[in-house]
Structure 1
Amino acid sequence: MMRIFLMATLGTLTAFAPPAHAQQAGETRLVVRPSPAVPATPTPDQQAAVLERFARARDNLVALREGRRSVSDLSPQELQDVLDYDRRVRGDYPDTRGAKQQCIDDEFRRAGGRPSALARQVIALKCRN
């Protein structure tokens, strides 16, 4: 009778025990979360606001060039909008190249755009960081 009790008890204990692989030290658990929601397309009101800001920046830039307004008349946001608008119109985007790439580009320009193999090696040595 005692033997049946022990076997029954061991059976319930193993039924509630975590699996052997979960008891290993240093186990990492993978947590899966849903991806963030995809941003919705802008509403007509948001599109109108962007176009209005764009038109205001254009008008402010024209007024600045004609002398009807001065830079001190603009709010910081208006000034930033004018600078962004001017940059986009001229195609002058911020330079995101690293120092090494700028050095290489400058040296290639100095060499006439088509340096020889030896000149390329010299440029590589000169521009390494």
Structure 2
Amino acid sequence: MFLRVKIDRRDQPAQLFLWQGNERSSPPREYVMTSMIFGFTQNSPFLAHSVRDYNARAHAETHPLALNAIVRSHYMDDYLDSYATVEEAVSTAKQVTEVHQKAGFALAGWNSNHAALLEDKPEELLARKPKEVA
């Protein structure tokens, strides 16, 4: 998720770093990260959540079911929820997928106790092994 969040060009110099690689006799080269760094344990998770939630709010009018699902039922890029009906689950999952796609995010590891929820998901986005949730 972190690498999918691009940093505004004006802020990229804050992520400047030097890299020498195996060329120890040469001076190090200067690089800049253009995406969010996931190693900042205090800032990166907060910023990733903020971007994810901002995107959900930006599409709330056209994807109202996704707003609550994304803001309240996600931890980073993991999504866990339950619904009273299969229809509600399918509609919400469709909206969540569409909203995330608009930001360049893709949820992977989809799993459900009802096959209808997984019908439109590409094989590569399905969970490899089902997980038991207690």
- TM-score > 0.5 by shorter chain: no
The structure that is helix-richer by fraction is 1
TM-score by length of 2: 0.23
Structure with the bigger percentage of strand:
2
When Rg is computed on C-alpha atoms for both structures, the one with the higher figure is: 1
Which structure carries more relative contact order (alpha carbon 8 Å, separation 6+)?
A: 2
